[in-house]
Amino acid sequence: FALSLFLITIKPLRRSTVIAGGLIAGLSALSRPNIALIPVFVIIALLIVRRTIGPKKALIYSALFTISVMVAISPATIHNLIVSGNFIPITTHGGVNFYIGNNEFATGAFHAPPGFPASPLEVVGNVSEEIAERETGKELTPQEVSDFYFKKGLDFIKTRPINALKLTLKKLMLAINHYELSLNINLYFYRFNSILRYLPLMTYGIILPLGLVGLILGVREDRMSIMLIAYFLAGFLTLIPFIINAKYRLIFTPPLLVSAGLTLYKLSDFIRNKRYLTTCIVVSILVGLFILSNITILGLKPGINFDKCHFMVARYLFDNGNYKMAKNEAKKALRFNPDHDMAWFIYGLCKIKENKLTDAETAFRNAIASNPKNYKARYNLGVLLMQRKRYDEAEEQLIQAVTIEPAYIQAKLTLADLYLKMVNVDKAEEILLGLESKQLKRPEIRYRLGTIRFSRGDINGAIEYLNMADDYPDAHRLLSRCYLALGEIKNAIIEFEKERSRYPDNPLLGELAKEIEEAQ
């Protein structure tokens, strides 16, 4: 984006630099789709300076820049059309991001709406699609999911215009505020733990006042400097409808940096030429903007939420198999906040890896005490209790997990497995058949239904489900037993060989081999 800005402001303006600037702006839009609207702002800027470069050139450059942006984006558009069959210029995440920024629970920054997971990555993943399909009662294409959330966001604006206006003003304040908002990484946490904090680097709270003043001074100096304003507004105004975030603000930082340098140069020039009144006016404006940019709003200040930071590090370490360091980071998070339920959750998982099940149980119970709606802690506690053969307690926790999060399929499957262990086949089958039709096609569910049919003596029903289990572990072994029950020795041997070739470590194969030998 900065390179595109550099090319489009080279003097004299040429077709080659306009085309190159458009191509690079289009490539930038692939990572930040709101930049795709940059041609609108560039066209307006070129029309404003048409007397400087000539009306004909202004129109030609506008067309060239727009076409160049479209050409850069087109490979992604063609790919999306081939894969999905829908016209999707760049991405279908715009709808859900718009809804996150425009709903009754929105804060201006990232804040997951009720029913959504807390992680930004999970929000724009399959979860948002599942929620949209559940609310509409039908399967949706990615574009239809995006349209669904766009409509929800627009409905909020239409039905609650005052709240929407207040939210927009809050976003504007966050966009110009010095505080570096983050999605899932607290930048101040990492700055605190980095030697880079000792470098005399300019912060956003200094760059913004200098940059805004420089944008105005630049236009007075050179009409073509209006292109800096165009690029700034392209990043700034297209961000406001969504959510404010430090990395999203980087888009419009390059024009601010350029104009900030101009402000410092002009100030030195005013002083050198003894234009003290002008100097006082500019300094007064800078001081006012500095105060506006550096006031503390919404309680945001460096040093908050370090418990969440240690938790994020703990989760990353755990996901990458470094359980000892993950446990230590979880303990640090708990020192900052003893009621951090997810830190207790990660700590419990680490204790399971150490095979300290009593400590793990205590950690999961602490997580639930801190947040009774932590369905992941309840699920893992249920699994732990199930392993320790405390079936009644396990049932209670798994039922709670499913009640809190009905879309948590793994909890339902584990609850069904628990009922099978408790020889309550009817309840297990009720849970499995209560799943949505799309979920019933999953091989692990078909395998379980086949197991239930087999336990009831419905051999043909078991075979029907197991044949659709897509090589799920143990499915071919159970199929072999079904064929043995029907006296079809040849088919039993075929299924036995399939299981042995795919899962040679299945401990039940030895017993099955003896049964086949006896049947022969």
Considering the domain architecture, whether residues 164 and 278 belong to the same structural domain is answered as: yes
Considering the domain architecture, whether residues 77 and 169 belong to the same structural domain is answered as: no
Say how far apart CA 486 and CA 476 lie, in whole Å: 15
Does the pLDDT at position 245 exceed 60?
yes
Total domains, the chain: 3
Please list the alpha-helical segments (H only) found in 320-424.
323-336, 341-353, 357-370, 375-387, 391-404, 409-421
Range of the domain at 487: 441-520
Does the pLDDT at position 324 exceed 90?
yes
Short-list 355, 308, 350, 305, CA closest to 326: 350
Taking the CA atoms of residue 96, residue 100, residue 103 and residue 108 in that order, the dihedral angle to the nearest 10 degrees is -150
The b-or-e profile of 35-49 (16+ CB within 10 A means b, else e) is bbbbbbbbbebbebb
Considering the domain architecture, whether residues 168 and 285 belong to the same structural domain is answered as: yes
**Does any domain span residue 367?**
no
Does the pLDDT at position 298 exceed 70?
no
Say how far apart CA 106 and CA 429 lie, in whole Å: 41
Contacts of 233 (CB under 8 A, 6+ apart): 41, 252
Does the pLDDT at position 429 exceed 70?
yes
Does the pLDDT at position 442 exceed 60?
yes
Taking the CA atoms of residue 308, residue 311, residue 317 and residue 318 in that order, the dihedral angle to the nearest 10 degrees is -140
Residue the block writes with tokens 């893992």? 380
Considering the domain architecture, whether residues 79 and 169 belong to the same structural domain is answered as: no
Considering the domain architecture, whether residues 167 and 294 belong to the same structural domain is answered as: yes
The DSSP output letter for 408 is -
pLDDT tens sequence across 466-501: 999 877 899 999 999 999 999 999 999 999 999 999
Question: Using 50, 70 and 90 to split pLDDT, how confident is the model at 122?
Answer: low
Q: Are 117 and 123 in contact (CB under 8 A)?
A: yes
**Does any domain span residue 399?**
no
**Does any domain span residue 95?**
no
Q: Encoding tokens for residue 65?
A: 């820049």
Say how far apart CA 274 and CA 412 lie, in whole Å: 78
Phi and psi torsions of 502, nearest 5°: -90, -40
Considering the domain architecture, whether residues 80 and 193 belong to the same structural domain is answered as: no
Considering the domain architecture, whether residues 64 and 169 belong to the same structural domain is answered as: no
**Does any domain span residue 291?**
yes
Considering the domain architecture, whether residues 181 and 288 belong to the same structural domain is answered as: yes
Q: Which of 274, 298, 322 is the last residue of a domain?
A: 298
Considering the domain architecture, whether residues 179 and 294 belong to the same structural domain is answered as: yes
Q: Which of 298, 328, 352 is the last residue of a domain?
A: 298
Phi-psi sector, 94: left (phi>0), alpha (psi -120 to 50), beta: alpha
CA angle 177, 182, 185 (to 5 degrees): 145
C-beta atoms surrounding 399 within 10 Å: 15
Cα–Cα separations (whole angstroms), residue 20 to 8, 16, 45, 342: 8, 6, 18, 48
Which residue type, as a one-letter code, is found at position 428? A
Q: What pLDDT sits at residue 121?
A: 65
The helix-helix angle for 375-387 and 391-404 (nearest 10°) equals 160
**Does any domain span residue 120?**
no
Say how far apart CA 263 and CA 256 lie, in whole Å: 10
Considering the domain architecture, whether residues 178 and 292 belong to the same structural domain is answered as: yes
Q: What is the mean pLDDT of the chain?
A: 89
Does the pLDDT at position 120 exceed 80?
no
Q: What pLDDT sits at residue 299?
A: 66
Question: Using 50, 70 and 90 to split pLDDT, how confident is the model at 304?
Answer: low
Does the pLDDT at position 440 exceed 60?
yes
pLDDT tens sequence across 354-413: 999 999 999 999 999 999 999 999 999 999 999 999 999 999 999 999 999 988 999 999
pLDDT tens sequence across 174-202: 999 988 888 766 777 777 777 777 788 88
Considering the domain architecture, whether residues 164 and 259 belong to the same structural domain is answered as: yes
**Does any domain span residue 118?**
no
Short-list 36, 127, 146, 138, CA closest to 86: 146
**Does any domain span residue 179?**
yes
**Does any domain span residue 100?**
no
Q: Which of 283, 298, 313 is the last residue of a domain?
A: 298
Say how far apart CA 468 and CA 478 lie, in whole Å: 13
User: What value does the mean pLDDT take over residues 68-92?
Assistant: 89
Contacts of 490 (CB under 8 A, 6+ apart): none
Percentage above 70 pLDDT, the chain: 96
Say how far apart CA 365 and CA 378 lie, in whole Å: 8
CA angle 496, 498, 501 (to 5 degrees): 110
Considering the domain architecture, whether residues 171 and 279 belong to the same structural domain is answered as: yes
The b-or-e profile of 441-467 (16+ CB within 10 A means b, else e) is ebbebbbbbbbbbbeeeebebbbebbe
Q: Encoding tokens for residue 479?
A: 């199929």
C-beta atoms surrounding 242 within 10 Å: 21
- Residue 234, burial from CB neighbour count under 10 angstroms (0-12, 13-18, 19+): buried
The CATH number given to whatever domain includes residue 476 is 1.25.40.10
H helices, E strands: number in the chain: 30, 0
Which residue type, as a one-letter code, is found at position 1? F
Please list the alpha-helical segments (H only) found in 128-225.
128-136, 142-159, 161-176, 187-192, 204-221
Q: What pLDDT sits at residue 303?
A: 56
